[in-house]
Amino acid sequence: MSGWDRKNTVAKFAAEKALPRSRKLPLRSIASWITIAIIGLWTALAVTLVALKWIDPPTTAVHIERRIEAWLHRAPYRERYTFVPLGEISPDLQHAVVSAEDARFYLHHGFDWNQIEIDAEKDMDGGRVRGASTLTQQLVKNIFFGTGRSILRKGAEFTLVPVAELVLGKRRILELYLNIVEWGPGIYGAEAACHYWDGTSARSVGRDQSARLAAILPAPLRRKPERMTSYSEIILGRMRQVGW
């Protein structure tokens, strides 16, 4: 083999050896950019939670999702959304919602591990699971992720809930939740719900009607307060048990 052929063979071997590396570099680069993007997005969401300590959200992921759904189906859509301070929401309505949606709200730090354990045992036994999603979890989901379900959403929610508990505190979490939660088609928050369903304000809504309003929250697009007599009685019973 001539010197020239030897040099060509060595160069070709070197090029072939380097080829896998050149293919790996873009994959590493893509993975790095994905990681950076995920960290950046999570940081933006966390900063938004901090800002919500003082800023009332002009809209949420659920609000946007419903607008898009109406547009896609060419259906009429009217949004009712008025943010009011917690002091302008009847204590009866506050207590009814907590009793219905998250009875241990003031005892946990974002996750109700006691209810999660109970639901896990019921699931293993084939029983009906009530659901252990806390008000804090629901708040994070409604603001950022809408009504969809996915492992990625659950993972992001799991990491953001402690941030919400830390920076917002229970009072602000409850205030935000009561103001942004879906209470019917295009109806968001306690003030809009009370006006729509009861013809009154969130400040003036009565105890029985508060329980009926709280009773429709698990399925606000299907349920109506006047049909929730049985469940509202259960909610009123829970309120009495804790002295509300």
pLDDT at 153: 82
| Domain ranges within the chain, ordered by starting residue | 1-51, 57-241
pLDDT at 19: 46
Residue in this structure with the two tokens 């999603």, named with its chain if needed: 133
Cα–Cα distance measured from residue 164 to residue 144, given in angstroms and rounded to the nearest whole number? 12
pLDDT at 117: 63
pLDDT at 126: 47
* Beta strand 187-188 pairing with 80-81: parallel
Q: Walk across the sheet containing 182-184 and list its strands.
A: 80-81, 187-188, 182-184
Residue 33 in this model has a pLDDT that exceeds 80: yes
State the Cα torsion 191-196-200-203 to the nearest 10°.
Answer: -20
| Phi, psi dihedrals of residue 204, rounded to the nearest 5° | -105, -5
Cα–Cα distance measured from residue 8 to residue 152, given in angstroms and rounded to the nearest whole number? 51
pLDDT band at 85 (very low <50, low <70, confident <90, very high): very high
Higher pLDDT, 21 or 44: 44
The topology under which CATH files domain 57-241 is Penicillin binding protein transpeptidase fold (1.10.3810)
Average pLDDT over residues 113-122: 65
CA 92 to chain centre: 24
pLDDT at 236: 98
Residue 129 in this model has a pLDDT that exceeds 50: no
Average pLDDT over residues 115-133: 57
Average pLDDT over residues 205-222: 96
Percentage of residues of the chain with pLDDT beyond 90: 70
Global confidence as pTM: 0.84
Read off the pLDDT of residues 2-23 as tens digits, 9 standing for 90 and up. 554 554 554 555 555 554 554 5
Contact 193, 187 (CB under 8 A): yes
Higher pLDDT, 106 or 25: 106
